[in-house]
Chain A
Amino acid sequence: DADVTQTPRNRITKTGKRIMLECSQTKGHDRMYWYRQDPGLGLRLIYYSFDVKDINKGEISDGYSVSRQAQAKFSLSLESAIPNQTALYFCATSDFPRGADTQYFGPGTRLTVL
């Protein structure tokens, strides 16, 4: 069983629609992250959370919001999707600083905004 799962794996939506991407983990890690991947730009951090009550903006948070429903669940929302939010989105978890700095990534969600 995958330790970090993301749903949906693929999503096509229209401009202006609200969409939620979900992430669940069974690793027991407190820290969770949302990234987007674009060709030529690498991975950029959108939001990160140290625990249910501690959520922080990353380098590209505009147009996104998040919710940490439980230690194991971290959702990313696009309130009003726009075409330049078309990207591959990854959730990641980490046991840092209790454990190593390693981040464990989910399989990704490919989002297309028409």
Chain B
Amino acid sequence: QQQVKQSPQSLIVQKGGISIINCAYENTAFDYFPWYQQFPGKGPALLIAIRPDVSEKKEGRFTISFNKSAKQFSLHIMDSQPGDSATYFCAASIGSSNTGKLIFGQGTTLQVKP
């Protein structure tokens, strides 16, 4: 049972374009939604995260949009660069559970063409 569904599985974008990755969740108890970035041969690393008390969070070229009623959140990468080519994972957790357990989406492989 996949509690966090991520799409698309792969994405090709031209340099300078906008990359958009979407995630949907089922459990309304989730209250923390991070995105992790993974380069080949490396472990995932936190990119940006949001909590449901805001609808959008921006850090540089990376923005999370959050729609609580639709139970969806997305990552937007503006002015995509070849260096952004990586695998991106959305995730969700229940902070109040105190476990820190993350439920990950399936991952999206992004390729930014020069």
Identify the A interface with B (CB < 8 A): 4, 31, 33, 35, 40-45, 48, 56, 58, 90, 92, 94, 96-97, 101-108
Contact = CB atoms under 8 A, between A and B. Distances in A.
A41 B106 contact: yes
A106 B105 CA distance: 19
A103 B46 CA distance: 7
Which 9 residue pairs spanning A and B have beta carbons closest together? A105-B43, A96-B100, A42-B104, A43-B104, A42-B106, A102-B46, A42-B107, A105-B44, A94-B100
Q: Which of A43, A48, A96, A107 has the most CB of B within 10 A?
A: A43
Secondary structure of the A side of the interface? strand
A13 to B, nearest CB: 21
A103 B105 CA distance: 15
B101 A44 contact: no
Contact of A97 (B45, B100, B102): B100
A106 B45 CA distance: 9
Contacts of A107: 41-43
Contact of B34 (A44, A45, A101): A101
Interface of B: 6, 9, 32, 34, 41-46, 49, 89, 93, 95, 98-102, 104-107
Nearest to B1: A59
Given A41-B106, A90-B44, A101-B100, 14 more contacts: A33-B101, A40-B9, A42-B107, A45-B102, A94-B100, A101-B49, A102-B34, A102-B46, A102-B49, A103-B46, A103-B102, A106-B43, A107-B42, A108-B41
Contacts of B93: 101
A108 B104 CA distance: 17
Interface of B, secondary structure class, is loop
A100 to B, nearest CB: 9
A104 B44 CA distance: 8
23 contacts: A31-B100, A35-B104, A40-B9, A40-B106, A42-B104, A43-B44, A43-B102, A43-B107, A44-B104, A56-B99, A90-B44, A96-B100, A97-B98, A101-B34, A102-B46, A102-B49, A103-B46, A103-B102, A106-B43, A107-B42, A108-B41, A108-B42, A108-B43
